[in-house]
Amino acid sequence: MIRIENSADKAEIYISGDIIDDDEGAIVAWWGDGDAYQWPSDIKKQLDEVKGKDLTVYINSSGGSVPAGVAIANMIKRHDGHTTAVVDGWCCSIATQIFFAADDRQIPKNAYLMIHKPAISIIGNADDLEKAITFLNTIQEGIETVYNDAANDDVMPETIHDMVNDETWLTGEQAKQYFDVTVLDSTQTVAKAGKSANMKNIPAEIVAAWKKPNAANDAEQKANQQRLQKEMSNKITIAVAKAKGVLAE
C-alpha cells in the first residue's frame, strides 16, 4: 500500500507489501489489488505530487524484485526534499535498499532489518547456471556497496559481506551496531508483510507471535491465504498475457 499524506511542507509514504516490477504492477492494478504490492512507476507518480517537500517513508516489506527495489531506492535518493525512512515492522531483502536511500534512517527497538544474498529461479543448462551465478554475484556486489556506504566507520566490508552471505536479521539496537541509524522506542508490534519463503533465519520471537492461537491471528491467516491465492491467480494472468504478447518481456 502507498499512501501519501500532504501538508504544506511535508509528505508521508507508506510502503507495505511485496515489491514487484512495472509489468506485474499493471496487472495487479487492473485486478484492484495494489495495496499488497509496490512498483516503481506507481511510486514515481506519487512522488511527483510531493516534489520539494520533506518526505518520510514508512516501510513494512519483505522485499521482492531487485530492479524494482533499486529503482524505488534511487527515486527516494533523488527526491528534492529531506528524506527520512522508518521501519514500521520489518524491512527485508531489497526493501533495505529503499531504507538506506534516505538521508536519515530510523528503526524501533522491536523492528527488524534483514539482509541476504539475492536469489533467482532459473531453468537451463550448465552454461546458463554459470551465467546466473555471475549475475547474482554482480547484483550482490551492488547491494553490498549500499550497505557499506551506510555502515559505521568501524564496520569493514568483509563484515558486511559475511552478514549478507549468512542472511542476517537485526533488531533496531543491533542494526545501530553496524549502520548509521537512529533507534526509536516503541510498543510491541509483529511484522508480517508479504512473502517469507526466501527467508531462512526468521527470529523465533516473530515465528512465535505468528503462531499465537487467537481469533485475530486466525483471521489474518485466512486473509493471507486469500491474498496468496489471488497472487497466484495474478501471476497466471501475467504469464498468459506475456505468452499472448500483451505484455513485453
Residues of the chain with pLDDT under 70: 1-8, 32-35, 186-249
- Residues sharing a CB contact under 8 Å with residue 247, sequence separation 6 or more, in sequence order: 23, 26, 27, 238, 241
Residue type, 203: P
SS3 content of the chain, % helix, strand, coil (to 5): 50, 20, 30
CATH architecture of 4-243: Alpha-Beta Complex (3.90)
Distance CA 168, CA 160 (A): 10
Dump pLDDT digits (tens) for 5-48.
556 688 999 898 899 888 887 887 777 665 678 889 999 998 99
Pairing of strands 4-6, 10-19: antiparallel
Contact 100, 146 (CB under 8 A): yes
pLDDT digits (tens, 9 = 90+) for 70-93: 999 999 999 999 999 999 999 999
The radius of gyration of the chain's CA atoms, rounded to the nearest angstrom, is 18
In this predicted structure, what is the pLDDT of residue 26? 80
pLDDT of residue 37: 84
Quick one: which of 36, 101, 35, 105 has its CA closest to 69? 101
For the chain, the distance separating the N- and C-terminal CA atoms, rounded to the nearest angstrom, is 25
As a whole number of angstroms, the distance between CA 10 and CA 56 comes to 8
> Taking the domains of the chain in order of start, what are their residue ranges?
4-243
